[in-house]
A and B are shown apart, each in its own frame.
Chain A
Amino acid sequence: MILTAESIKQIKESAARYPHRKSAILPAITIAYRQVGHLNDDIYREISKIINIPQSEIAEAATFYTLFPKQPVGKYLIQVCHNISCALMGADSLVEYLEHKLAIKKGETTKDNLFTLISVECLGSCATAPMMQINQDFHENLTPAKVDKILADLKAKG
């Protein structure tokens, strides 16, 4: 079992709130993601047993949302927006800068398992481009200096 008793309890509670069992899929995968940090086939199978929905339906919903990573990621998931506004404002060089600073390529995780770097579609913060999201927080109007500070702070926190 990957899911903890606490997650299972939360999933059951949230499932009880919906008239249609299928509505429980998204809350369930969110709860699992919060616990594990990513999703995979084994997790889909466990959820499928808990809310009694076929595994393929869980997998269909989960893979539709790119917001859920499908393999292990570092403690801090850095998602750089690469859509049009951010691209115009230098998203490419932002990614390059991060790759250089973290000594990894886009899509990789640092050796200390602290950072994973990916680029994503629009995060809805065009007015503050270029921007990135780290876990649940937005970091906006980025410059190399700002990035240095953000990374240093996170490293210090560990």
Chain B
Amino acid sequence: MADSTKIETPARTVETVTFTINGRTATVAKGTTVLQAAHGLGITIPSFCWHPKLKPVGACRMCYVEIEKMPKLQVSCATEVTNGMVVFTESDKVKQGRRAIIEFTLLNHPLDCPTCDKGGECDLQNLTFAHGYDDSRFAFQKLRKIEAGVPSTFDDIKIGPEIVLNRNRCILCYKCVRANKEAFGEYDLGAFERGNHTEINAAPGQQVDNPFSGNLVEICPVGALTNTDWRYKIRVWLTDQKASICPFTSSGTNIQFYVERHKNRIFRTTGRRNDAIDDGWLSDVTRYGYQIIQSPDRLKTPLIKKNGKQVPATWDEALAVAAARLTEIRDKKGCVCVGGLASPSLDNASLYTFNKFMRVAMESNNVDYRTEYRRLPSSLDNPYDIAASQAFTIADIDESDVIVVIGSDLVREHPNEYLRVRKAEQFNRSKVFLLNPLSTKPSDVAALELVHKPGAEEIAISAICLAAMESGWASGVNADDLKSKTGFKKAADAAGACGLDLIEIQAVARAIAEGKKITIIAGELVTRSREREAIGAALCNLNRVFGVDGKGQMAILARHANSVGAARLGLTPDLGAGFAGALKSIWGQYPETPPQNTDAMLAAARKEELDAMILVGVNPVMIYPDREFAREALDKLDFLIACDLFETETTQLADVVLPLAGWAEYRGEYFNLEGRLQSAEPGIAPLNEARPAHQILESLAEQCGSPLFAGMDQRNAEMEKILKVDIRRPWPTGLIEVKPQPQETAPERTVALIMGDDPHHSGYLTEKAPSLVGFCGEAYAELSPELAAKLKVGAGDSVRLEAATGKIIVPVRVSEHIDNDVVFVPRNFMAAPVNSLVSRKQRVDWVKISKVSD
């Protein structure tokens, strides 16, 4: 959130060097390359292989400059500025050098610009016009790489679900391979053979399908890599660019849509590099996710249930029915009868309007945005929310010498921060520690990966605290107090209880104690746990023991595009006296009714103590951690309004369904996980009859006889006031007691189910993006080779996963990176509802697993 707790670093003295470039004298930090220095001074140097986020290689020679006292032209991207250096970037010698390089680069490059998709945004095309000859002296046959047996007009080969490669166009800048390895840690693409036979290609027997593969296309300077999403659909100069924000993750990755106005259509998404957030890299979910907006499956019109069947209706009809029923139920005596859930991916205006709609128009405190978590804390003053409200700065990950990830499968939850952690290790040699119930992706760069027993997060954290105390690293903490608060006498006992080696625990403790700048990230495996409060308490103690807040940052990261906005705009039921008071003074009223969170609302609905609910962009049947519970509850309601982009299991239960506009269809503002406020321009006008959530809620309130705002200005002014309320909670100054509820024992012959997002999906909507389905189109059970062997299953087989609450059948994926007693299943696929295996009461979801023999 705001920067107030950011640590002060003493002003570093940067060594500088002074040089002359094109007659101008300038001073830059030592270590700056000539190319970077020139760019900083507004002098452009053409380049192909240089990329601001990769190590220089000097492969293309396009960036030649003349440097006095050096006999030959030098590559500016790999030459550091030194004192007294005299550089020329536009001398005749340089110009001649550039021309020669272009001539060489075009040696084997086909002249197929008219049919090449890169035309209009091709670096080679542009630089040839700017610096090349209009003729070539190489009058011989060009080398042509053709895949034997693959008929293709333009020698294209498909190397991944989305990527098409034309090796003839490749100018061997190696940017794709370098980004893949250096930035993403992926090895599904390589440069093979040598000399002018060198070619970029997929690794033997593999596909280029890593979760960041779309970036390779974006950084290719020519048309060698293109993606099926965009190719041959439109020319780039016919599109406008609209600045937007990614709605699938919480970093607020900066993106832009390429839009054809007259067609009201988005053609692609690319990055809009923001070094504070994303370094210009997009995950594939961020890149291809826009497709859901233009899915033919979008809800076309409002629907009203008539005689048990949903039939199309006009907006006027639907709003009239909804308002009539809601007012009737609201005004019923003796109960608090309306509840509402909104998606934390909605924009600020929609979330705030929802809050006011519920509390003012519906006179109810039954408001929540947390639909996918179990055992929600009732008020905000609990250790979980304390740890979740801490300030966090994404870019600070880069400079942290010690990074600890706790309870987060980073690449699936926070792809941006995942890349940051990799970058810190690759470029700054940071030490990375992973503490999870399963092996997770950045393990290849981890100094140590600790895989603890499922459901033992807080014990593992307590073990680290105890180990620090035993080694004398926990100054100012009373040993007996720590022992009694954690419930363990010795670090060794705690380590044993969570299935870890004491030596490994000590290594983490030592690293945190000795680290100069620390980043500790906790994630969804904490938030989704029934024991989130106990884990939160352990994190508070971790902060206390090591003084993390004095030398770095620690937070449980928000997961959704606007989770932070939802919290700050008051979308939790019980806001506490201060926050509620602030709202009351703005609104002139505030409901007196008892606040109910998601759990309580659904439980009340099941008991028929809640009559109506309004759901905005949420699908509890699919994401609530107890499918049947949620389904039954919603089914028992007298009246259900569901606003969504698509028909879902939840909208099917609704009496009124309202088509919701997606984030790409209207202007919205979002807080990212750092609390950074960013705004997203609309890419296109709403399709069909969809409307933004805030507009729907305002119309509904009006029809219910309680209009919310006199106009947009009033709404914005109110929001501004509310955002002044500080919901951050300071770290506790003493130790707090870690007391989880007793753990149920694992039933015989079961494994622990861990659910999360597939790296190519996010939530329940991305199944509507064809490109993402191309990467992964169905659910699977990821299991270890050993477990697979035990079950006698392999690739191509399916397994049945069973729990008391339900069962699903999914194909098997064998992975070296998962342990024998856990199974991972993605939660993104409607056909395999994994939340039907989950119970809201349990800490660990134990499932029986067996082979499906056909």
Contact = CB atoms under 8 A, between A and B. Distances in A.
Contact of B191 (A44, A54, A60): A60
A63 B187 contact: no
Contacts of A65: 194
B203 A59 contact: yes
Contacts of B191: 60
Contact of B187 (A45, A56, A66): A56
Contacts of A63: 192-194
A59 B193 CA distance: 9
A54 B190 CA distance: 10
Interface in B750-801: none
Contact of A66 (B192, B194, B204, B206): B194
B187 A41 contact: no
A55 B203 contact: yes
- Interface size bracket, B side: 10 to 19
Interface string A27-70: 00000000000000100110000000011110110011110000
Contacts of A54: 187, 203
B202 to A, nearest CB: 8
Nearest to A53: B187
Contacts of A44: 204
B189 interface: yes
Interface of B is mostly: loop
Contact of A55 (B187, B193, B194): B187
Contacts of B187: 54-57
A41 B192 CA distance: 12
Contacts of B188: 56
B711 interface: no
A66 B193 CA distance: 8
Interface of A is mostly: helix
B194 A56 contact: no
Given A54-B187, A55-B187, A60 B192 contact: yes
Contacts of A45: 204-205
- Interface size bracket, A side: 10 to 19
Contacts of B189: 56
Interface in B807-822: none
Contacts of B193: 63-64
A65 B206 CA distance: 22
B194 A59 contact: no
Interface in B97-123: none
A65 B198 CA distance: 11
A110 B204 CA distance: 29
B187 to A, nearest CB: 3
A143 to B, nearest CB: 32
A57 B190 contact: yes
Contacts of A57: 187, 190
Contacts of A64: 192-194
List the 3 closest A-B pairs by CB distance, nearest first.
A54-B187, A56-B203, A56-B190
Interface of A: 41, 44-45, 54-57, 59-60, 63-66
Given A56-B190, A59-B204, A63-B192, 14 more contacts: A41-B204, A41-B205, A44-B204, A45-B205, A54-B203, A55-B187, A56-B203, A56-B204, A57-B187, A59-B190, A59-B203, A60-B190, A60-B191, A66-B194
29 contacts: A41-B205, A44-B204, A45-B204, A54-B203, A55-B187, A55-B203, A55-B204, A55-B205, A55-B206, A56-B187, A56-B188, A56-B189, A56-B190, A56-B204, A56-B206, A57-B187, A57-B190, A59-B192, A59-B204, A60-B190, A60-B191, A60-B192, A63-B192, A63-B193, A64-B192, A64-B193, A64-B194, A65-B194, A66-B194
